[in-house]
Chains A and B, each alone.
Chain A
Amino acid sequence: MNLNLTRRRFIKGVIASGAAATTTGVWVAANGAARPAGAVERMIRININGQVRTVDVAPQETLASTLRYKLGLTGTKLGCNRGECGACTVLVDDVSTYACSVLTHSVKNGRIETVEGLESADGTLHPVQQAFVEELSPQCGYCTPGQIMAAVALLRENPNPTREEARQGLSGNICRCGSYDSYLDGVMRAAQIG
């Protein structure tokens, strides 16, 4: 496992994308219909959950906005919209990434995975999802998609983490309900059944 890589690539990604988080956290990028006069907009093709989708993305639009408001993938949640909580965590080329803090244009060549892409076509849950059900890891559930994506990223790099490594791997995801213990139980179970 290389957690430094995850963190470094995340930070580099944010810098490259021009830091999408605003100080006020206002969701202004949500609607393609509102275009500032003269702004450039492009139809882009992005690979989401293994499917190539064509979508009209404003230059300043965050990945979270594109997913939630353009593509209807509302499983990705917004808790803060400014890189504090991890509720919006998705995977970009297997790296857990805060979707609220990266511009869609900056990851358009990447392979994006959201919580909606984990279940198999026959409805079988991903081992992390299954383990989270069995351990009743979620409380309110609002941070859960982010916790799941962080856990999936961790287990791909390190299929048999220690509890301490799991704790480090999920440390970028806040849970206000305080279900950390149950999420860690879920990750450890997922490592067993995965």
Chain B
Amino acid sequence: MAYMHIGKDFVPPDVNGKVTGRIKYAEDYTREGMVYARLLTSPIPHARVVNIDASEALAMDGVFGLLTADDVYPDGEPQSTGLKVLTNEPTLVGEPILALAAIDEKTAETAISKISVTFERLPFVLDPLDSLAEGGPDAYNGGNTYVFRQGFASEKWSADQVASFRAGNEPTAEPQQTFAYGDLDAALAESAFVYESAFTTAGYPHQSMEPRSAMAYWENGKLYLHGTSQSLSALADGMASIVGVPQEDFVFINEATGGGFGQRARANSIPSMAIPAKLSQKINRPVMMRVTRDEETAIGGARQGFQGWIKCGFKADGTMAAADLYIISDNGGKGGGGDAYSAADCISILYQTEAVRFRGTSIGSNTGHRGAQRGPGQNQIAAIIAPILDKAAEELGIDRLKIRQINTPQNGDIGGASRTPFTSAYMPEALKMGAEQFNLEERMARSRKRNGSKVTGIGIGQGYHNAGRSGMDGIVRLTADGRLKVHNGVGNLGTYSYASTSRAAAEVLQMPWERVDIVTGRTDRNLPITSPQDGSNSIFTNTRTNYGAAMDLLGKMKEIAAMELGGDAADYDIGDERVFKAAAPSEGMTFAEIAQKGISLGGKFTGESDLPEELNDFTKISVSRLAGDSLMGIYHDAPHNNNPPGFTVTFTEIEMDVETGKYDIVDMVTIGDCGTVVHPQGLKNQLVGGAVWGIGLAGYERHLYDPQNGLPASTGYWQSKIPTMMDTPAKIKTGWVDLPDPENPVGARGIGEPAMGAVAAALASAISDSLEGHLFNAAPVTADMIINHVAGVTSEAVPLAQNNFRG
């Protein structure tokens, strides 16, 4: 289909501000009379605040006030594992206890040093399996796990059960959560090759580049909050209720966000932004709260680590007949997530497994806050399953690409725990395209070849994420000067989806891009509600809403033309910013004339009546404020059926130095199947950015805690081992299938998360290949693990250890 905008590169309006330094992030703002908040955070991993004596601090010159959990939660703190604004019951080092505002940060720090907080120390635990063992410490006050709608609970196994699991055996205890389909026993019995092992994947922090600093002030009863967010309007909706201010009195300002990978998507993943809001209300001054890298590391979120057991059966023809998983997922000191369930779901989808059983239990540890991180669950398991697939191929005498082709999801398939059909799926095409671009056949000849201390490893990986929600709203407007305004509530976290999804509306109206204004950046510009910008959602979700709103606008424009020029709306067409009679193109009106007429007509044309019934309350407020002064298109997107998948495949070649355990990634080709490509440069950035994350997951990233005192040893970028330019290939080759999805009006589906999983899988596969097919059953596989393996040294690490060194 020939599009005017879809599939074409453009310059998103914020890029100039990014290269000149002019665009403002939350901490770049100042306000007359602004004072500074500093945090007192928990120095111990699990405690109860017994007393706070701030009298000396509050008596200091330049100190304006204090905010504690008692101020925030006068009726008591919510009893859940969720991150709190402030707490008297810290369950991780670095959790905010109180905030103090002063004339400057130095005074605030000095004042905080004069506050005496009496903590009651409580037992802490760093490894979920230590908590699971009978008599082991619990991370929370009330248990070591949290059961939805029931509250805290204590999950315990016998010491023998834990020891058996650590020794690599199938766990025998009753799990918290399960799903299953197919006849697992029969599938295993039919299998010609069965692989069984325990495995671990590490937890590690998000480390967005911009710390979650925020500034707030109140003016005429309204709260203005400068913050950071992946999901502008969705986050604002939740933040208003955390602060306790009516939505109509809350203005969230967020032109740019310095990276978001899951823990700035929803208000409850970043409740710290309520601190300056509440403090500002209390002391009646603008408050800036700058967050340090240490603080960001503690509360900025971390991926759930897995302590798992997997058993996979493959038939002689390579079909993956069975997958049986049991996973203990680490809920950390706060938060949690559904990573384990998603991991099993992902295997079912990527390999169309005939019988799957998942068993899982989530257990807390007094370590960093956990929550969704780029491909939560799908991406951890991608790095574990890829080398298992290679092993099966080797044992069954099947080509490594072939075994993936045999099991590939494709159009018409169903998958996952819910056995939901795909909206479309072009993994076979992606595998073929990638193999050709990578020249796989020729490279395979080099696999495992040694040259001095260097051994070549070839890897193939696949990634998946469910990539598209629906049910959100859209607002577009045609103003009296004939310009198109697309109100977009998607956050600006660096994907440019706020701009690329707006192009669906421009496409409907065949509007030149320079005649389109994207209205975004702050909620008082009156934005529609969107889905939180997580789960690779935005492209699918918000092209639907913007397209729908533009179609509503187009219908109204044709109706106005028919009223003015006669005939029926269906007789009209558009082009060159005119609405004209299809049979007599010279008879028509300009977009500006149509808009002016619509404004004079009012009512449904200007958003004053006949709104879609299901419109969300957040959107209704925006529409009511905009009503009357422009011709409006308003749309509520009805929920769609079926699963719009995002798929990625990656091929890579590494050169492993078996003397150092370090490797160079010599080449990498990564191909996306994400429907029609909306914005090629944006897609390329998601693919290469996801690749860097995948390299981190498979090879580097983890966090460490001191087992004696529970203190974090990883408090920044360096110790978290996030990949630098030198850890990643000098060039990553990208490509895409570019076939349309039928349930999206422009054919698009998401990609951000699978882009990471495929690379993690490919790198794990290549590392294994370079070491004669050795399976570490771990992510990351670090240099010390590699040289220990090569040297035949048994690791001294506790088997399946979490939040610490692993063997």
In residues 457-505 of chain B, which contact A (Cβ within 8 Å)?
A: 493-496
Q: What is the minimal beta-carbon distance from A80 to any residue of chain B, in angstroms? A: 4
B552 an interface residue at 8 Å Cβ cutoff? no
Q: A26-B38, A28-B109, A31-B106 are in contact. Are A164 and B730 (CB under 8 A)?
A: yes
**Number of A residues contacting the other chain (C-beta, 8 Å)?**
63
> Quick check: B690 and A140 within 8 Å, CB to CB?
no
Q: A141-B258, A144-B18 are in contact. Are A25 and B209 (CB under 8 A)?
A: no
- Binary flags per residue of B246-259, CB closer than 8 Å to A gives 1, else 0: 00000000001111
> Quick check: A144 and B685 within 8 Å, CB to CB?
no
A101 an interface residue at 8 Å Cβ cutoff? no
A160 an interface residue at 8 Å Cβ cutoff? no
> Quick check: B688 and A133 within 8 Å, CB to CB?
no
CA of A17 to CA of B62, assembled, Å: 30
A20 an interface residue at 8 Å Cβ cutoff? no
> Quick check: B725 and A30 within 8 Å, CB to CB?
no
A163 an interface residue at 8 Å Cβ cutoff? yes
B148 an interface residue at 8 Å Cβ cutoff? no
CA of A30 to CA of B290, assembled, Å: 11
In residues 44-89 of chain A, which contact B (Cβ within 8 Å)?
A: 68, 73-82, 84-85, 87
> Quick check: B21 and A145 within 8 Å, CB to CB?
yes
26 A-B Cβ contacts within 8 A?
A24-B294, A25-B294, A28-B105, A30-B104, A78-B211, A80-B716, A80-B717, A114-B21, A129-B20, A133-B16, A135-B681, A136-B11, A140-B259, A141-B14, A141-B15, A141-B258, A142-B256, A142-B259, A144-B18, A163-B731, A167-B730, A170-B725, A176-B722, A178-B692, A180-B725, A181-B728
Chain B interface SS verdict (over half)? loop
Q: Which residue on chain A has the smallest CB distance to residue B290?
A: A27
A174 an interface residue at 8 Å Cβ cutoff? yes
Which of A75, A76, A168 has its CB near the most chain B CB atoms (within 10 A)? A75
Q: A80-B717, A170-B725, A171-B724 are in contact. Are A119 and B20 (CB under 8 A)?
A: yes
Q: What is the minimal beta-carbon distance from A114 to any residue of chain B, in angstroms? A: 7
Q: A142-B210, A163-B731 are in contact. Are A180 and B18 (CB under 8 A)?
A: no
**Number of B residues contacting the other chain (C-beta, 8 Å)?**
68
> Quick check: A133 and B11 within 8 Å, CB to CB?
yes
- Binary flags per residue of A141-162, CB closer than 8 Å to B gives 1, else 0: 1111100100000000000000
Chain A interface SS verdict (over half)? loop
Q: Which residue on chain A has the smallest CB distance to residue B718?
A: A84
CA of A143 to CA of B692, assembled, Å: 15
Q: A25-B294, A167-B726, A184-B730 are in contact. Are A136 and B685 (CB under 8 A)?
A: yes
Q: What is the minimal beta-carbon distance from B183 to any residue of chain A, in angstroms? A: 42
Q: A139-B685, A170-B725 are in contact. Are A84 and B716 (CB under 8 A)?
A: yes
B723 an interface residue at 8 Å Cβ cutoff? yes
B19 an interface residue at 8 Å Cβ cutoff? yes
Chain B residues within 8 Å of A163, by CB: 730-731
In-complex Cβ contact of A178 among B15, B495, B682, B689 (8 A): B689
In residues 8-46 of chain B, which contact A (Cβ within 8 Å)?
A: 9, 11-12, 14-25, 27-28, 36, 38
In-complex Cβ contact of A177 among B15, B209, B684 (8 A): B209
Q: A74-B28, A76-B21, A138-B15 are in contact. Are A178 and B724 (CB under 8 A)?
A: no
Q: Which residue on chain B has the smallest CB distance to residue A85?
A: B717
CA of A170 to CA of B9, assembled, Å: 26
B693 an interface residue at 8 Å Cβ cutoff? yes
In-complex Cβ contact of A142 among B38, B209, B716 (8 A): B209
- Binary flags per residue of B282-303, CB closer than 8 Å to A gives 1, else 0: 0000000010111000000000
Which of A136, A170, A178 has its CB near the most chain B CB atoms (within 10 A)? A178
B508 an interface residue at 8 Å Cβ cutoff? no
